[in-house]
Amino acid sequence: MEVAVRQQSGDASLLRRLNSAAILRILREAQVATLSELARAARVSRPTAEVIVDELVAEGWAEECGEEPGDRQRGRPARRFRFRAAAAHVLGIGIGGSRLRAMVTDLNGTIVVSRRAPNHREMPAGERLDAVAALAAEAAAEAGVALADVAVVGVGTTGTVDGAGRVVKSMVLSGWTGLDLQGELSRRLPAPVLVENDMRLAVLAEHWRGAARGRHDVIYLFTGDRIGMGLLIGGRPHRGAHAASGEIGAQPYNNWTAYRHVMDYAMAVEPGELRSSRQSAEFAIARARAGDEKAGHAVRELARGLAAGLITVVNPLDPEMVVIGGSLSSAGDLLVEPVRELFEEFCAYPPEVVASELGSECITLGAVRFALDHADRLLFT
């Protein structure tokens, strides 16, 4: 009999937790709801809903709304409640070739703090890890959140990242290949850490808050000192058989064919100035905007070169959209049309082509969304 009583008590406790999670999830989706609406949606009695909501209010997960104008004229108003997104926070971190970025948001993804710090490709891995941990602590402190109270830390990094958060291979950052990044950061940060490839997070961010909202099959092209690609297939970032999706790889001497025209142009205009592929592109773009026809031709050929490299992916994948992101996305008005023209000529079903509006924050925003998805599973299921 004692065992049966204990089991019934345990079952009741589990049921209460399940009902509480269900009501919290419903409240979050509805934004504002009455007790009757919550009880009906969760399929529980109104008294049960009231007890659970009072507990959620006491714990800080919900709050009662004030009266709206006209409530008193209608008699006693129904109690209305809303989800408190500030009850918990997540932290998104982007680890790039030249910068570290951190972003603290509430559970609705509202940005509370955004910070950045320099990163160097040849920095020893240990120093870079310490710099990431320091930036995370600074961002949390500025947001007024104890780092130990952060629900989840999502991290995006260049390199092939496996399911355990290890960097299998990195062609950009020194000492990064073979690094157990998730494990190393977990030892430095007192909060759950999840690590993912930066290109997969970039396309996730575009799907969440960028040009790809509402789309299910998307190619995200990252442009800058390197070229990367994120694939959204069926509404989910594609990982690939070896978790290597997103890493296009390196070119000899870092000489991308698509950048040849802008590099030649920059060298012809200023022979004594050494520029990277990204710097050459930015130089040509600035002069094209100023009316230089030769610069305009070089930028157009850059766009056509990028498009030519994409065609072998676009035709078999058949995406709805191609998003041009990375540091060159700000030149979208110069790049989009040449890319679209080449697709019209060579693709059976030319996708829509747009420039990202998320800029350099795309990977960090993707890390935030990655962290929020995990927090949602912890809180609402």
Per DSSP, which regions of 312-356 are E strands? 321-326, 352-355
Could you say which architecture CATH assigns to the domain 2-83?
A: Orthogonal Bundle (1.10)
Cα separation, 257 vs 255, in Å, equals 6
Fold identical between 2-83 and 88-203+363-380? no
pLDDT per position as a tens digit, 309-352 = 899 999 999 999 999 999 899 999 999 999 999 999 999 999 99
- 293 touches 322 (CB < 8 A): no
**Would you list the domain boundaries of the chain?**
2-83, 88-203+363-380, 214-357
Cα separation, 328 vs 283, in Å, equals 11
pLDDT < 50: residue spans in the chain: 1-9, 250-255
- The pLDDT score that the predictor gives to residue 255 is 44
- The pLDDT score that the predictor gives to residue 52 is 94
Cα separation, 346 vs 110, in Å, equals 41
Beta bridge partners of 114: 103
pTM over 0.75: yes
pLDDT per position as a tens digit, 79-129 = 899 999 999 999 999 998 889 999 999 999 999 999 999 998 999 999 999
- 143 touches 113 (CB < 8 A): yes
- The pLDDT score that the predictor gives to residue 224 is 82
- The pLDDT score that the predictor gives to residue 17 is 85
Tell me the CATH class for 214-357: alpha beta
- The pLDDT score that the predictor gives to residue 243 is 78
Closest Cα to residue 81, out of 55, 118, 101? 55
Per DSSP, which regions of the chain are E strands? 32-34, 62-64, 80-83, 89-95, 99-106, 111-118, 152-157, 160-161, 167-169, 193-197, 218-223, 228-233, 236-237, 321-326, 352-355
What are the tokens at 325?
A: 């992101």
What are the tokens at 132?
A: 């990431």
Question: Which residue bears the tokens 């950045």?
Answer: 116
Q: What is the CATH number of domain 88-203+363-380?
A: 3.30.420.40
Beta bridge partners of 169: 160
CA angle at 233 for the pair 229 and 237, rounded to the nearest 5°: 60
Residue type, 154: G
Q: In 281-313, which positions are buried (b, 16+ CB within 10 angstroms) versus exposed (e)? A: bbbbbebbeeebeebbebbbbbbbbbbebbeee
